[in-house]
């Protein structure tokens, strides 16, 4: 029996016109499929940022708390629903905000409890929108539906038992469940959040748990595009991608998907579709195990980039012919929870890139015991993605010739480690220019070639 999970992001639920489209799309599904869709929603656009500021800036709390209330009241009015659906949540918000008002910065479990108000209000509004169209619907906080996580507040990860709990809570429902994205709960009942942009991940967790036929990510672009449209306005939708391609793009900066989204879908082999709420008839992108039909011509599909990258180089003449050097270096990074992205080594040095350097200082003291350490910030990783791309003779030459031609220096290159991604490091200031240049130079602004046909 067919069942889909439909995730609507902040841009879909936080703009009145798009909200109406989103509710209509879910209502339409409910009328057509044997099993009602499960809807996953993010907070209205801008709301999570507002709550993050509320936590960080005690002096602005009063004004921000009031803005949270007016944003939802005005939105409820603009959608024609009126304040009813969010009234009780808003008074709970006022109480929670008053109770924490005197705190310095709010973090950890308390911060996640504050951020949760965004998704909770959005779910209440969406369920009310469906009810107003005569569709049986219920807003459900993900933790109450069984999405249990570890205790890493702000970046929680689901526990394995989530799957069975979600399946038994959501699976049998005959009404549309409108589940809060972004949120989980610890085993002892404290609210967690899954990391910024985490509602996509929520949708995939829920979809995998209930064995959905498809996980739909409804957003403000007509699919996963050949580049970030804010950098390359002429970027085009990529019709088909593999899980591996989409994962690499998400990880290296394609914000349209949270980097963890594809994992649960991949484990259960569930297609993920990226669609445009305002243009629902556009075909969008479909992400499955295979990159495309077997006879599809090879091509680079999309380019992503991520700034705020730091490179750390450890130089040691003792590395020469020594075993265990790399193990020692990575043991230090591992112990300090520093996530390493790109790695290059030479006879006497190793360079790695990191994107979160919050705990770098502690690690540096230890690395200095291994060799001379250099740290360079202000860098960006650019990832050129397409199944088979790195193996393509001539691609690297083409890419670096294009960049060299305009004087963009390349600091580190990683090719061949993955079958789908040729990635390299440039100065942050050069990153957008590099993406635009490659988008044009690799022909991504042109129509995708028609699939190759057998000669007749």
Q: Would you count residue 198 as binding Mg ion (CB under 5 A)?
A: no
Strand 412-414 to 285-288 pairing = unpaired
Which residue's beta carbon is nearest to the bound Mg ion? Answer: 197
Q: How far is CA 256 from CA 259, 279, 370, 420, in A?
A: 9, 16, 40, 19
| Residue 116: burial class (beta carbons within 10 Å; 0-12, 13-18, 19+) | buried
Enumerate residues 138-197 that contact ligand ASP by CB under 6 A.
Answer: 181-182, 196-197
Interaction partner, residue 185 (ligand ADP, Mg ion, ligand ASP, none; CB < 5-8 Å by kind): none
Q: Residues 3, 5, 9, 424: which binds Mg ion (CB under 5 A)?
A: 9
Check: CB of residue 305 under 8 Å from CB of residue 231: yes
Check: CB of residue 149 under 8 Å from CB of residue 182: no
In sequence order, the 6+-apart residues with CB closer than 8 A to the CB of 404 are: none
**x-marked contacts with ligand ASP along 48-67 as a string, rule CB under 6 A:** x-------------------
Segment contacting Mg ion (CB under 5 A): 20-28, 190-198, 360-368, 385-393?
A: 190-198
Interaction partner, residue 366 (Mg ion, ligand ADP, ligand ASP, none; CB < 5-8 Å by kind): none
Interaction partner, residue 221 (ligand ADP, Mg ion, ligand ASP, none; CB < 5-8 Å by kind): ligand ADP
Place of tokens 């459900």: 140
Three-point CA angle 218, 223, 225, nearest 5°: 140
CB-nearer residue toward ligand ADP: 36 or 253: 253
Q: What is the DSSP letter of 189?
A: S
Q: Distance of alpha carbon 452 from its chain centroid, rounded?
A: 33
Segment contacting Mg ion (CB under 5 A): 4-12, 139-147, 277-285, 445-453?
A: 4-12
| Binding site residues, ligand ADP, CB under 6 A | 9-12, 42, 197, 219-221, 224-225, 227-230, 254-256, 302
Dihedral of the alpha carbons of 169, 170, 172, 173, in degrees to the nearest 10:
110
The residue count for binding ligand ASP (CB under 6 A) is 12
Q: What residues line the site for Mg ion (CB under 5 A)?
A: 9, 197
Binding site for ligand ASP (CB under 6 A): 9-10, 42-43, 48, 118, 181-182, 196-199
């Amino acid at each position: 029996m067919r069942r889909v999970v439909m995730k609507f992001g902040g841009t879909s639920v936080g703009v009145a016109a798009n909200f109406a489209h989103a509710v209509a799309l879910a209502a339409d599904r409910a009328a057509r499929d044997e099993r009602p869709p499960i809807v996953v929603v993010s907070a209205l656009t801008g709301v999570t940022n507002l709550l993050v500021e509320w936590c960080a800036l005690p002096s602005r709390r009063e004004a921000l708390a009031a803005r949270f209330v007016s944003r939802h009241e005005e939105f409820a009015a603009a959608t024609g629903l009126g304040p009813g659906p969010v009234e009780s949540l808003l008074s709970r918000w006022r109480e929670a905000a008053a109770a924490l008002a005197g705190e310095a910065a709010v973090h950890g479990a308390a911060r996640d409890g504050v951020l949760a108000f965004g998704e909770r209000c959005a779910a209440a509004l969406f369920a009310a929108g469906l009810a107003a169209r005569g569709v049986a619907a219920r807003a459900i906080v993900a933790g109450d539906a069984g999405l249990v996580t570890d205790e890493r507040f702000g970046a929680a990860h689901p526990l394995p038992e989530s799957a069975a709990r979600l399946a038994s809570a959501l699976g049998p429902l005959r009404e549309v469940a409108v589940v809060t994205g972004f949120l989980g709960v610890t085993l002892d009942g404290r609210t967690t959040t899954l990391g910024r942009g985490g509602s996509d991940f929520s949708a995939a967790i829920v979809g995998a748990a209930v064995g959905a036929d498809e996980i739909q990510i409804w957003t403000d672009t007509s699919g996963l595009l050949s580049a970030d449209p804010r950098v390359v306005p002429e970027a085009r939708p990529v019709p088909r991608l593999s899980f591996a391609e989409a994962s690499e793009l998400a990880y290296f900066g394609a914000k349209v998907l949270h980097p963890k989204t594809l994992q649960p879908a991949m484990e259960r082999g569930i297609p993920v579709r990226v669609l445009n709420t305002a243009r629902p008839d556009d075909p969008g992108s479909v992400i499955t195990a295979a990159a495309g039909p077997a006879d599809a011509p090879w091509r680079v599909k999309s380019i992503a980039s991520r700034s705020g990258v730091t490179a750390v180089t450890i130089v040691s003449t003792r590395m020469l012919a020594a075993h265990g050097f790399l193990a020692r270096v990575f043991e230090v990074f591992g112990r300090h929870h520093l996530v390493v992205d790109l790695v290059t080594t030479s006879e006497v040095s190793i360079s790695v890139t990191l994107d979160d350097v919050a705990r770098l200082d502690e690690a540096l003291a230890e690395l200095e015991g291994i060799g001379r350490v250099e740290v360079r910030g202000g860098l960006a990783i650019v990832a050129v993605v397409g199944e088979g791309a790195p193996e393509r003779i001539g691609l690297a030459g083409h890419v670096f010739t294009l960049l060299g031609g305009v004087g963009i220096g390349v600091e580190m290159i990683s090719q061949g480690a993955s079958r789908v991604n040729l990635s390299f490091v440039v100065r942050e200031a050069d990153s957008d220019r590099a993406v635009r240049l490659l988008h044009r130079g690799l022909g991504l602004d042109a129509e995708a070639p028609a699939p190759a046909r057998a000669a007749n």
